[in-house]
């Protein structure tokens, strides 16, 4: 009887180890993917298609007669996870001459608000935290960590095309999102 | 400090005593792997809850995006394939485990007094799980789920008196719609799981109240074993094996992409999942006025039998040998369900029977080896685009079924194929001068064979192995039409055609169903693009002289990225294209723009064309760690634990 009891106790302690060991193994195997699936980046697609903005000639000169950049609208296919929509977007275009054009992303590099042009002060001003930029996109004052982001452009058949990209905000470097 | 915290808790909520009341119990006859079936079901249920909730991070219950959101989860989210896979296979496994659990309880007599209510609560749980499986299958809003829901709710509609009310309640209206999906979503993720939680708690409480029934032999019952940790340990061994099994199934046999739900698609043949096959088969036996027996009668009868078991089997004997009536009854019941499932599995919907007949007919004809070669040439050069044979094929040229009875010589037929204009100056039949003398001979032999029947292409309903594009050497270039044609020129023409086309349509973003795409391809594309898209069909007046091959496809269109590949070919299918050249006889139609095919159908055909070129449309893009590696990793972890446990065990044994 004594031996039986001892056997029983050792059996119990063995099954305790089995339970704890396997419960740990199951949690470990499952824990990893479950956390990974909600914290790691899912697939992001960078936009690779240039959108047509306007004929180059029709864009007014941004320095003469008065200093004034143009806000141009266009339509692009937007990929948002599994939803594709045709969405309107806009950019700021600064034209010095027909072959000297800069296009700025409309998003403030500070924290992602949309800035606008102040006609009195001749400056770009972001309403969120008062980041201020010149017409060339340089930071004048405010918390912005870098100047306005320029976008790649292309001129084909005398029409201006822009590649609408987005960049990480709040950092001094210009890092594209989705690549 | 730690002991102080423990004391603080124990004074308020004593975890120790809670644990004791839940786990401390003596099992008559000791622990057993047989008793692990219930807890295995509970384990899978917990997995279902976890993976179910996790899918909600990505899934949206709308008819236009449900399928895409699930595709996105499976292909673009790290470990999305695993979470969806465990949920899919877990649902299947749960039905199996519940079945085995019920069987185990039945054989051991564990439903007898005082455990009748535990049994009844268990049957209720079975019904809840069936409800969860049914509503869950519809959520992807794919072809299979959509049609299963359509048929299932229609069956509910046949219930006397309340049928009409029931169908409207389930569908949120008279027909399948967004409201149906919303309702199924709420049933599947809120109402049914909520009730199931509650009933599971009751089931466990009832189980705890009376404990395990133990073995039926009195001698074996004397010795007892502990529930914790002995039974729990065995339960966890089974659970770990189940987890490995579920991961293995998710890796090596993932759920197929059955294509986005397409209410217009008449070519999809819906058949229920295996777990409803026996009902599907019984349903087919009752038609017309007796239909109600199949739709309502039989399911009600099955539930009634299950409910009545503890009230019929009331004798005090637990030993199955002393309950022969019940055992035979149970055996008949299970065998019936298994047989019906097997018949249901092998039964084919009426549509596919005819194609099976074609196979038989074609195989029955005895052709000489030369004529057989001719037959494959007939198929490969898609003569059936223009000519009819045994009721299949185009109507541009004459019917060739009775060609052997027209009394024409072999030479006449060869000349006709090589240069039709010699016989008929105004013939529009292309001159097939690219065929060798032997090939012409073969074709003539085929046409002159008596009882030459339809080409076998349509009958070939099995999905072939993906051919390697490079190994496709059987195709001879028809150099007579455009002597200078080479790959570079073809590529240039493709890119020029591509530049003229509008952007891809919606189909390019849908993960299509390859098998269904193969069927649609045979019906719609093969006549011009050739068997399995191998091309070679002449297109006089076009620069290339023939319709482009899709297998292998032009390098300009091919891409290793499934999305890019689909985008490229989608533009042609959506908007059509006019081949370069003076006056091409045939052109690609705008199948999407003209709404000839629905977007899900186009997506299916695209998935098939990608498959022909060795690209998987449903390729996992962001896997986490690679599926196979993850499976190995899981197996390794479990093995590691097993080795450690064995060492502990050996060490203990030595000590004693």
Task: Determine the pLDDT at residue B356.
Answer: 39
Q: What is the DSSP string of B543-585?
A: SSSBPPPSTTPPTTT--SSHHHHHHHHHHHHHH-BPPSSSS-S
Q: Tell which wins on pLDDT, B289 or A150.
A: A150
Tokens standing for residue B301: 């009868």
Mean per-residue pLDDT over chain A, rounded? 88
B427 has pLDDT over 60: yes
Count of other CB atoms within 10 angstroms of residue B47: 23
Contacts of residue B622 in chain A, CB cutoff 8 Å? 40-43
Q: With an 8 Å Cβ cutoff, are B232 and A19 in contact?
A: yes
Is-contact B167 B153, C-beta < 8 A?
A: yes
Q: With an 8 Å Cβ cutoff, are A17 and B645 in contact?
A: yes
What's the pLDDT tens digit per position in B91-138? 999 999 999 999 999 999 989 888 999 999 999 999 999 999 999 999
Structure confidence at residue A44 as a pLDDT band (50, 70, 90): low
Alpha-carbon gap, residue A62 to A101, rounded angstroms: 10
Task: Determine the pLDDT at residue B382.
Answer: 66
- Interface residue A31 vs chain B (CB under 8 A): no
Average pLDDT of A125-130?
A: 92
| Smallest Cα distance from B69 to chain A, Å | 6
Q: With an 8 Å Cβ cutoff, are A14 and B649 in contact?
A: yes
Alpha-carbon gap, residue B376 to B417, rounded angstroms: 16
* Parallel, antiparallel or unpaired: strands A50-55 and A70-80: unpaired
* Parallel, antiparallel or unpaired: strands A50-55 and A153-156: unpaired
- Interface residue A37 vs chain B (CB under 8 A): yes
B470 has pLDDT over 70: no
Structure confidence at residue A3 as a pLDDT band (50, 70, 90): low
- Interface residue B648 vs chain A (CB under 8 A): yes
Tokens standing for residue B508: 């390019």
Q: Which CATH architecture has domain A50-163?
A: 3-layer Sandwich (2.102)
Interface of B with A in 599-628 (CB under 8 A): 621-622, 624
Domain ranges in chain A?
Answer: 1-40, 50-163
Average pLDDT of A26-46?
A: 85
Interface of A with B in 74-113 (CB under 8 A): 77, 81-84
Q: List beta partners, residue B225.
A: B27
What's the pLDDT tens digit per position in B158-172? 888 999 999 999 999
User: Would you call B134 helix, strand, or coil by DSSP?
Assistant: helix
B485 has pLDDT over 70: no
Q: Name the residue among B57, B230, B648 with its Cβ closest to that of A38.
A: B57
B353 has pLDDT over 70: no
- Which long-range contacts link B247-252 to residues 24+ away (Cβ below 8 Å)? B247/A29, B247/B82, B247/B85, B247/B86, B247/B630, B247/B631, B247/B634, B248/B631, B249/B85, B249/B89, B250/B81, B250/B82, B250/B84, B250/B85, B250/B86, B250/B88, B250/B89, B250/B627, B251/B85, B251/B627, B251/B628, B251/B630, B251/B631, B252/B631
Q: How many CB pairs under 8 A join A and B?
A: 116
B455 has pLDDT over 70: no
Q: Is the ipTM of this complex over 0.85?
A: no
Task: Determine the pLDDT at residue B486.
Answer: 55
- Name the DSSP class of B467: P
What's the pLDDT tens digit per position in B533-590? 888 778 878 888 888 889 889 888 999 999 999 999 999 999 998 888 888 878 888 8
Please name which of A179, A84, A42, A80 lies closest in space to residue B83, comparing C-alpha atoms.
A42
B60 has pLDDT over 70: yes
Contacts of residue B243 in chain A, CB cutoff 8 Å? 26, 29-30
Please name which of B470, B610, B594, B485 lies closest in space to residue B539, comparing C-alpha atoms.
B485
Count of other CB atoms within 10 angstroms of residue B382: 25
Alpha-carbon gap, residue A132 to A139, rounded angstroms: 6
Q: Tell which wins on pLDDT, B480 or B201.
A: B201
Structure confidence at residue B350 as a pLDDT band (50, 70, 90): low
Count of other CB atoms within 10 angstroms of residue A156: 9
Q: Tell which wins on pLDDT, B377 or B134.
A: B134
* Parallel, antiparallel or unpaired: strands A100-104 and A123-125: unpaired
* Parallel, antiparallel or unpaired: strands A153-156 and A116-118: unpaired
Contacts of residue A9 in chain B, CB cutoff 8 Å? none
* Parallel, antiparallel or unpaired: strands A132-133 and A123-125: antiparallel
Structure confidence at residue B380 as a pLDDT band (50, 70, 90): low
Q: With an 8 Å Cβ cutoff, are A34 and B83 in contact?
A: yes
Nearest CA in chain A to B59: A82
Give the lowest-confidence range in A83-92, B443-452, B627-636.
B443-452
Q: Name the residue among B76, B503, B641 with its Cβ closest to that of A22.
A: B641
Q: Tell which wins on pLDDT, B286 or B138.
A: B138
Give me the torsion for CA of B324, B328, B334, B339, rounded to 10°.
160
Q: Name the residue among B58, B624, B637 with its Cβ closest to that of A33.
A: B624
Contacts of residue B656 in chain A, CB cutoff 8 Å? 6-7, 10
Alpha-carbon gap, residue A107 to A114, rounded angstroms: 5
- Specify the pTM: 0.80
């Amino acid at each position: 009887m004594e031996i039986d009891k001892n056997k029983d106790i050792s059996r119990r302690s063995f099954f305790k180890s089995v339970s704890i060991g396997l419960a740990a193994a199951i949690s470990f195997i499952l824990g990893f993917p479950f956390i990974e699936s909600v914290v790691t980046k899912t697939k992001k697609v960078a936009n690779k298609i240039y959108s047509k903005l306007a004929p180059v000639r029709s864009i007014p000169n941004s320095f003469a007669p008065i200093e004034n950049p143009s806000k141009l609208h266009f339509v692009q296919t937007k990929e948002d996870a599994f939803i594709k929509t045709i969405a309107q977007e806009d950019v700021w275009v600064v034209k010095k001459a027909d072959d000297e054009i800069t296009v700025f992303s409309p998003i403030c590099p500070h924290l992602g608000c949309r800035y606008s042009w102040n006609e009195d002060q001749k400056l770009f001003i972001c309403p969120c935290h008062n980041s201020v930029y010149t017409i060339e996109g340089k930071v004048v004052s405010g918390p912005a960590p870098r100047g306005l982001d320029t976008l790649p452009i292309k001129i084909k058949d005398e029409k201006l095309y822009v590649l609408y990209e987005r960049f990480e905000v709040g950092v001094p470097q210009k890092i594209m999102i989705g690549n | 400090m730690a002991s102080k915290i423990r004391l603080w808790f124990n004074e308020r909520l004593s975890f120790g005593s809670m644990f004791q009341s839940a786990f401390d119990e003596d099992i008559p006859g000791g622990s057993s792997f047989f008793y692990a079936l219930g807890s295995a079901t509970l384990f899978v249920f917990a997995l279902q809850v976890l993976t179910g909730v996790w899918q909600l991070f990505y899934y949206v219950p709308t008819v236009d995006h449900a399928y895409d959101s699930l595709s996105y989860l499976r292909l673009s989210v790290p470990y999305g394939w695993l979470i969806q896979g465990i949920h899919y296979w877990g649902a299947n496994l749960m039905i199996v485990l519940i079945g085995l659990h019920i069987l185990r309880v039945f054989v051991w007599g564990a439903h007898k007094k005082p455990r009748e209510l535990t049994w009844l609560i268990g049957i209720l749980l079975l019904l809840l799980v069936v409800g969860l499986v049914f509503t869950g299958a519809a959520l992807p809003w794919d072809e299979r789920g959509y049609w299963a829901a359509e048929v299932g709710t229609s069956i509910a509609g046949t219930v006397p008196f309340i049928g009409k009310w029931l169908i409207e309640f389930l569908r949120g209206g008279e027909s399948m719609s967004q409201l149906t999906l919303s309702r199924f979503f709420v049933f599947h993720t809120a109402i049914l799981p909520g009730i199931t939680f509650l009933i599971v708690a009751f089931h466990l409480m009832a189980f705890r109240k009376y404990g395990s029934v133990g073995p039926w032999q009195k001698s074996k019952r004397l010795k007892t074993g502990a529930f914790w940790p002995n039974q729990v340990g065995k339960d966890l061994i089974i659970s770990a094996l189940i987890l490995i099994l579920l991961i293995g199934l998710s890796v090596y046999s993932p759920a197929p992409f059955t294509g986005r739900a397409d209410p217009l698609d008449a070519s999809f043949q819906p058949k229920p999942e295996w777990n409803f096959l026996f009902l599907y088969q019984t349903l087919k036996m009752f038609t017309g006025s007796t239909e109600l027996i199949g739709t309502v009668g039989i399911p009600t009868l099955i539930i009634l039998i299950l409910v009545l078991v503890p009230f019929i089997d009331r004798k005090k004997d637990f030993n199955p040998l002393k309950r022969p009536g019940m055992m035979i009854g149970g055996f008949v019941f299970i065998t019936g369900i298994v047989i019906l499932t097997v018949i249901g599995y092998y039964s084919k919907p009426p549509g596919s029977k005819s194609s099976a007949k074609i196979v038989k007919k074609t195989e029955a004809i005895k052709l000489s080896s030369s004529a057989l070669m001719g037959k494959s040439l007939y198929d490969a050069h898609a003569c059936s685009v223009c000519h009819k044979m045994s009721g299949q094929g185009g109507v541009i040229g004459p019917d060739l079924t009775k060609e052997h009875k027209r009394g024409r010589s072999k030479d006449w037929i060869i000349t006709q194929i090589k240069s039709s204009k010699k016989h008929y100056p105004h013939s529009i039949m292309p001159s097939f001068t690219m065929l060798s003398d032997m090939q012409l001979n073969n074709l003539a032999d085929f046409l002159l064979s008596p009882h030459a029947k339809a080409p076998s292409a349509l009958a070939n309903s099995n999905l072939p192995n993906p051919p390697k594009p490079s190994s496709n050497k059987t195709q001879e270039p028809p150099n007579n039409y455009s002597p200078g044609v080479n790959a570079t020129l073809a590529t240039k023409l493709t890119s020029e055609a591509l530049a003229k086309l509008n952007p891809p349509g919606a189909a390019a973003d849908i993960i299509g169903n390859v098998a269904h795409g193969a069927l649609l391809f045979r019906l719609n594309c093969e006549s011009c693009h050739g068997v399995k898209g191998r091309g070679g069909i002449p297109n006089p007046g076009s620069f290339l002289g023939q319709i482009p091959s899709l297998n292998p496809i032009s390098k300009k269109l091919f891409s290793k990225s499934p999305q890019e590949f689909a985008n490229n070919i989608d533009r042609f299918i959506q908007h059509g294209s006019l081949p370069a050249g003076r006056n091409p006889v045939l052109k690609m139609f705008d199948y999407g723009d003209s709404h000839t095919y629905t977007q899900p159908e186009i997506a299916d055909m695209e998935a098939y064309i990608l498959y022909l070129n060795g690209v998987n449309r449903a390729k996992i893009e962001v896997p986490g760690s690679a599926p196979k590696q993850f499976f190995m990793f899981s197996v390794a972890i479990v093995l590691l634990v097993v080795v450690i446990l064995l060492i502990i065990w050996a060490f203990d044994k030595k000590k004693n």
